[in-house]
């Protein structure tokens, strides 16, 4: 049921700012005043003492109501109210789909809005104004000639770079199909024959990084990964310093995210500065950052050689989106020319037909620089197959020469059209309007409340008081990220499969991620006994070794992850808590199976 303001309601309670008087309790309300050093250091103690003190919940029916829970939350975090009015308005008017689905599977720079990217110059109903098309071009060429993009594409790039606080004087933005493509493009063109190392910093298996690692290995690189100390999963400092080594001119590629996408651990950005001083080329993986997080990085102090940021499911009509590979102009000469890289997934931002029609132009077949797109290209294929790239190989140099000859004409034609089209990137504007302090406050309050609430769930009548939920990485912490890695355990202490938790959550209209934590280091003295209990063996497949075949495997922890975006509200977190608490019922999974059989669901396997 919805309240008059359009938000979900439970027990006749609405937690929207339009239905709640803006009030503050005395003092800092359990550490919500995030502007002073004292509240920062006391944040965890204050939050834990203010939220459900001396309480445990052993039955999902005993949880406080939404209204009661929000009252406790607002007393602990009164500064959350300062973010509510504007955030609620944006959410209700621009993101109506969030009232039907709790999106805890995405925490990037934005979230898809049905009115996010429109041509607003027309008096008629607004319509999505761009799409993407594939083109064949090398990264070196894009750096040299990319600034001569059409005015239409150039405007979008400039807006994105301004939002990310990346200077166009120092960097060139290249659009790629997705973040996986961006990493692989870099691996295909980086000189691993001379700079022979690839060092990554991920505490989880990243689907985007795997192709980069495979490519680097095939090209002769030595690949290593940082390790992460149990139980907080912070970077093992001594080991990473050793891997970075001493100063030298040619080291390799250092790939560094500022936050773990699964656990929410934040990493000091000064690691990038240290790597640069020791001779590494640095890649900043900004895909894990939330909106406006780049505001605090200090790009003037640390200028990574390459930056990768994803706008997947943020822009476009589908929504589709793309990724951005930002190359520092002073670093582009290190890149090599690769025929294969030309076919991997560099894209152009092009007008949709509706935009061309509204600007008075005849509708035409969408084209890339290299000619008309095939139906396969329109469908978004990355062209990673060897046969496809080999067929295009003889034409690659001719294509780039043709672009040099025609790019100025294309720019003049497009700029005439662009004068008639007003472009608005509303998804980025929403984050800009909220601002970094408000976004950080919202996520800090909700994320830490959720950590505390989940840890209060315990199985009844268990001999050793099994907790329902185990959280990996940071617990309650002022500067933790807005992602929570966790697992659910039954009353016997056995883990419920993460895929099952994800599937049941989806049936409750809650979207979650699954992932695999890895590269975990256990101290010999304190946690060696935990190592064998916690780590799981995962079989990857069967590989040939001479005349024999052997099993390929690794170890880590399969987990569920909840990622909180900047428009997640307290009610989302509460309903997710209610869902997890249902596992306190020992028969919950079986009840779900029979419920779906009764509803004649096609698939009942859980």
Q: In sequence order, which residues have a C-beta less than 8 Å from that of residue 326 and are 6 or more positions away?
A: 161, 166, 171, 172, 173, 174, 306, 307, 308, 309
Does the pLDDT value for residue 509 go beyond 50? yes
Q: Which of 78, 80, 92, 64 is nearest to 4 (CA)?
A: 92
The pLDDT of residue 431 is 85
Q: Tell me the Cα Rg of the chain.
A: 25
d(C-alpha 366, C-alpha 362), whole Å: 12
Q: pLDDT at position 39, please?
A: 65
pLDDT on residue 411: 47
Rounded Cα–Cα distance for residues 276 and 409 (Å): 40
Give the whole-number percent of the chain exceeding pLDDT 70. Answer: 72
Q: In whole angstroms, what is the distance from residue 478 CA to residue 455 CA?
A: 17
Residue pair 90/465 in contact (Cβ under 8 Å)? The answer is: no
What pLDDT is attached to residue 367? Answer: 25
According to CATH, the topology of domain 47-106+435-600 is 3.90.1150
236 band by pLDDT with thresholds 50, 70 and 90:
very high
- Of 124-133, 206-215, 421-430, the least confident: 124-133
Classify residue 159 as exposed, middle or buried by CB count within 10 Å of its CB (0-12, 13-18, 19+).
middle
Query: Quick one: how far is CA 104 from the chain centroid?
Result: 11
User: Strands 548-563, 483-488: parallel, antiparallel or unpaired by DSSP?
Assistant: antiparallel
Beta carbons of 270 and 301 less than 8 angstroms apart? no
Q: How far is CA 470 from the centre of its chain?
A: 22
Quick check: 235 and 521 in contact, CB under 8 A?
Answer: no
Strands 548-563, 536-545: pairing is: antiparallel
Task: Decide: 354 and 128 in contact? Cβ < 8 Å.
Answer: yes
**What local confidence, expressed as pLDDT, does residue 258 receive?**
92
Q: Give me the pLDDT at residue 360, please.
A: 39
CB neighbours (10 Å) of residue 311? 24
Matching residue, tokens 């560099």: 346
pLDDT at 359: 41
Question: Which tens digits make up the pLDDT trace of 537-573?
Answer: 988 777 766 677 777 778 999 999 999 988 899 999 9
Mean pLDDT (the chain, rounded): 78
- Determine the average pLDDT of the residues in 68-76: 95
**Residue ranges, CATH 3.40.640.10, the chain:** 130-351
User: 170-174, 260-264, 504-508, 540-544: lowest mean pLDDT where?
Assistant: 540-544
Give the Å distances, CA to CA, from 534 to 232, 283, 459, 555: 14, 32, 20, 10
Q: How far separated are the first and last CA of the chain, in Å rounded?
A: 28
Euclidean distance between CA atoms 228 and 398, whole angstroms? 48
Min mean pLDDT across 131-140, 309-318, 352-361 is at 352-361
What whole-number distance in Å separates Cα of residue 354 and Cα of residue 260?
40
Cα(60)–Cα(378) distance, rounded to whole angstroms? 49
pLDDT band at 403 (very low <50, low <70, confident <90, very high): very low
The pair phi, psi for residue 381, each rounded to 5°, is -70, 140
For the record, the structure tokens of 245 come out as: 């080594």
Indicate if the pLDDT at residue 477 is higher than 70. yes
Q: What is the pLDDT of residue 321?
A: 73
Determine the angle formed by the axes of helices 270-277 and 237-244, rounding to 10 degrees.
30
Q: CA 154, CA 142: separation in Å to the nearest integer? A: 13
- Angle at the Cα of 140 from the Cα atoms of 169 and 302, rounded to 5 degrees: 40
The answer, yes or no, to whether residue 369 has pLDDT greater than 50, is no
Tell me how far apart the alpha carbons of residues 567 and 87 are, in angstroms, rounded to a whole number: 7
User: E strands within 518-569?
Assistant: 520-521, 536-545, 548-563
pLDDT value at position 94? 83
Q: What is the pLDDT of residue 10?
A: 40
Tell me the pTM.
0.82
> How many C-beta atoms lie closer than 10 Å to residue 88's C-beta?
21
Residue bearing the bigger pLDDT, 530 or 563: 563
How many whole angstroms separate alpha carbon 132 and alpha carbon 417?
18
The DSSP secondary structure of 253-316, one letter per residue, reads EEEEESB-TTT--B--THHHHHHHHTT-EEEEEGGG--TTGGGGT-TTT---SEEEEE-TTTST
User: What pairing do the DSSP bridges indicate for beta strands 234-235 and 228-229?
Assistant: antiparallel
Q: Measured on CA atoms in the order 227, 229, 234, 236, is the torsion positive or negative?
A: negative
What would the mean pLDDT of 302-320 be, rounded to a whole number? 75
Identify the pLDDT of residue 418.
47
Greater confidence (484 vs 318) lies with 484
Give which of 118, 32, 193, 160 is closest to 426, Cα–Cα. 118
The helix or strand, by DSSP H or E, that contains position 511, with its residue range, turns out to be strand 510-511
Q: Tell me the Ramachandran region of residue 419: left when phi exceeds 0, alpha when psi lies from -120 to 50, beta otherwise.
A: alpha
What is the rounded distance in angstroms from the CA atom of residue 16 to the CA atom of residue 244? 49
Closest to 185 measured CA to CA, from 134, 248, 239: 134
Residue with tokens 């990084």: 209
Question: Strand order of the sheet with strand 117-119?
Answer: 127-128, 117-119, 423-425
HSE-CB for 316 with a 13 A CA cutoff: 17
Question: What average pLDDT does the segment 441-459 reach?
Answer: 96
- Min mean pLDDT across 25-29, 236-240, 570-574, 583-587 is at 25-29
Instruction: State residue 426's pLDDT score.
Output: 75
Query: DSSP class of residue 585?
Result: S
Class for the domain spanning 130-351? alpha beta
Nearest to 590 by CA among 471, 510, 509, 496: 496
Phi, psi dihedrals of residue 461, rounded to the nearest 5°? 60, 20
Indicate if the pLDDT at residue 515 is higher than 80. Answer: yes
- Please report the pLDDT score of residue 548 as a whole number: 76
Of 11-15, 335-339, 444-448, the range with the lowest mean pLDDT is 11-15
State the pLDDT at residue 255: 98
DSSP state string for 197-211: EEEE--SB--TTHHH
Sequence-separated contacts (24+) of 375-384 with Cβ below 8 Å: 377/133, 377/134, 378/133, 380/132, 380/177, 380/320, 381/134, 382/177, 382/178, 382/181, 382/344, 382/345, 383/134, 383/343, 383/344, 383/345, 384/184, 384/343, 384/344
For 594, list phi and psi in degrees, rounded to 5.
-70, -30
Of 361-365, 468-472, 548-552, highest mean pLDDT: 468-472
| Residue limits of CATH 3.90.1150.10 in the chain | 47-106+435-600
């Amino acid at each position: 049921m919805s309240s008059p303001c359009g938000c979900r309601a439970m027990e006749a309670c609405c937690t929207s700012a339009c239905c709640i008087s803006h009030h503050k309790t005395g003092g800092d309300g359990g550490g919500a005043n995030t502007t002073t050093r004292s509240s920062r250091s006391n944040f965890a103690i204050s939050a834990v003492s203010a939220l459900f003190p001396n309480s445990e919940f052993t039955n999902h029916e005993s949880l406080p109501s939404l209204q009661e829970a929000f009252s406790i939350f607002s007393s602990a975090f009164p500064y959350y109210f300062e973010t509510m009015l504007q955030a609620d308005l944006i959410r209700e008017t621009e993101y109506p789909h969030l009232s039907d689905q709790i999106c805890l599977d995405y925490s990037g720079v934005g979230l898809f809005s049905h009115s996010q990217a429109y041509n607003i110059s027309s008096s008629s109903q607004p319509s999505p104004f761009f799409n993407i098309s594939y083109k064949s071009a090398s990264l070196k060429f894009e750096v040299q000639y990319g600034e001569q993009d059409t005015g239409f594409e150039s405007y979008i790039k400039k807006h994105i770079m301004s939002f990310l606080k990346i200077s166009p004087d120092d960097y060139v933005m290249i659009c790629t199909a997705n973040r996986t493509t961006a990493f692989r493009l870099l691996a295909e063109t980086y000189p691993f024959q001379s700079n022979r190392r690839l060092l990554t910093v991920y505490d989880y298996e990243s689907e985007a990084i795997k192709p980069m690692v495979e490519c680097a290995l095939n090209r002769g690189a030595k690949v290593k990964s940082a390790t992460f100390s149990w139980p907080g999963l912070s970077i093992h400092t001594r080991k990473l310093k050793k891997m970075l080594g001493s100063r030298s001119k040619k080291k390799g590629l250092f790939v560094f995210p500022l936050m773990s996408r699964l656990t929410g651990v934040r990493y000091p950005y000064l690691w990038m500065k240290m790597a640069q001083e020791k001779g590494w080329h640095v890649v900043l993986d900004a895909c894990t950052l939330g909106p406006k997080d780049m505001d605090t990085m200090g790009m003037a102090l640390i200028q990574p050689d390459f930056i990768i940021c994803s706008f997947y499911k943020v822009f476009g009509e589908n929504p589709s989106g793309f990724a951005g590979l930002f190359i520092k102009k002073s670093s582009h000469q290190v890149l090599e020319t690769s025929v294969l890289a030309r076919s991997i997934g560099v894209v152009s931002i092009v007008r949709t037909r509706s935009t061309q029609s509204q600007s008075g132009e005849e509708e035409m077949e969408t084209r890339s620089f290299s000619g008309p797109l095939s139906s396969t290209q329109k469908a978004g294929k990355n062209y990673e197959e060897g046969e496809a790239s080999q067929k295009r190989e003889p034409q690659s140099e001719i294509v780039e020469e043709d672009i040099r000859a025609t790019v100025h004409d294309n720019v003049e034609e497009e700029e005439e059209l662009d004068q008639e089209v007003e472009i608005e990137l509303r998804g980025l504007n929403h984050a800009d309007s909220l601002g970094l302090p408000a976004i950080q406050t919202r996520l800090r309050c909700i994320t830490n409340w959720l950590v505390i609430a989940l840890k209060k769930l315990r199985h009844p009548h268990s001999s050793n008081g099994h907790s329902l939920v185990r959280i990996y990485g940071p617990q309650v912490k002022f500067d933790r990220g807005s992602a929570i890695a966790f697992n659910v355990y039954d009353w016997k202490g056995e883990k419920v499969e993460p895929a099952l938790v994800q599937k049941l959550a989806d049936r409750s209209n809650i979207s979650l991620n699954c992932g695999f934590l890895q590269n975990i280091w256990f101290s010999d003295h304190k946690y060696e006994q935990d190592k064998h209990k916690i780590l799981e063996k995962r079989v990857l497949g069967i590989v040939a070794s001479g005349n024999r075949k052997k099993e390929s495997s690794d170890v880590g922890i399969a987990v569920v992850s909840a990622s909180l975006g900047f428009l997640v509200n307290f009610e989302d977190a509460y309903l997710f808590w209610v869902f997890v608490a249902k596992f306190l019922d020992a028969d919950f999974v079986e009840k779900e199976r029979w419920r779906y059989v009764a509803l004649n669901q096609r698939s009942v396997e859980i």
